[in-house]
Structure 1
Amino acid sequence: MNLPHNHGDNLNNFKKIEDKKAVEISDAMKQLGDPSRLQIFWLLCHREECVINIAAFMDMSSPAVSHHLRVLKIANLIESRREGKEMFYHAKDNELTHALLNATIELSKI
């Protein structure tokens, strides 16, 4: 690769993120830009919980938590399962959530 400026380093071994993957990660990170959603995502990365318990943990109303859960679900970060009348939520076990969880952990060390 010929670069306009030669700073002594070589970008030939550096790989860009695939465009589709970059859009997916960027969209997910936007959703985690909300402190409440980040806290809920962090909780759901560590345990499965129902809306009522998440609401109590977050000191929020159930409708507010449901809104955040819906956004996280659309962003493909969490999934749910029904048990009787109750819905339980947990982080998806996929490459995106693992990458975001690792990034969150690293940021918390700063």
Structure 2
Amino acid sequence: MNHSLPHHHNDNDFDLMRHVPGPETVTAVSEAMKQLGDPTRLRIFWFLCHTEECVIDIASAVEMSSPAVSHHLRLLKSAGLITSRRNGKEMFYRAADTELVHSLHYFIEKIAMIHCPGEEE
């Protein structure tokens, strides 16, 4: 039984083992997926892919307390999914500008069949 993927290489000269992702790559992706496995963090992440907001506004958007949102933000930030900047006494958060984050954002929207605000369906 052949279980080849659509991009399977039938070339016998192709050394697949040399191309297996390294532990660091797999760990980073695994941690990101783990954090996005929580529905609240997934909602916050999607929201921050479209805007930069402070904790109070994020809490309002997801209908949670600020301390609860702060906890989720810490986890998303430690996974490298979001960044923060200080403006006076307030911290503002947004999605990190990385290839992984862009790919995850795209993946979420395709799976959930949602579109970025302002985009045509």
Determine if the TM-score, normalized by the shorter chain, exceeds 0.5. Answer: yes
Q: Gaps spanning 5+ residues in structure 1: where?
A: none
Q: Gaps spanning 5+ residues in structure 2: where?
A: 115-121
Task: Tell me the distance in 2 between the aligned counterparts of 1:42 and 1:22.
Answer: 22
Normalised to the residue count of structure 1, the TM-score between the two structures is 0.85
Residue 97 of structure 1: how far off its partner (Å)? 0.6
The aligned counterpart of 2:65 is 61
* RMSD of Structure 2 on Structure 1 (CA): 2.2
Alignment of 1:1-110 (within 5 A): 7=2, 10=10, 12=14, 15-109=19-113
Q: Stretches of 4+ moved more than 6 A in 1?
A: none
Task: Tell me the distance in 1 between the aligned counterparts of 2:113 and 2:62.
Answer: 22
Normalised to the residue count of structure 2, the TM-score between the two structures is 0.77
Provide, for residues 14-71 of structure 1, a one-character-per-residue CA deviation record: whole Å limited to 9, x for no partner: 7543332122111100000000000000000000000000111111000000000000
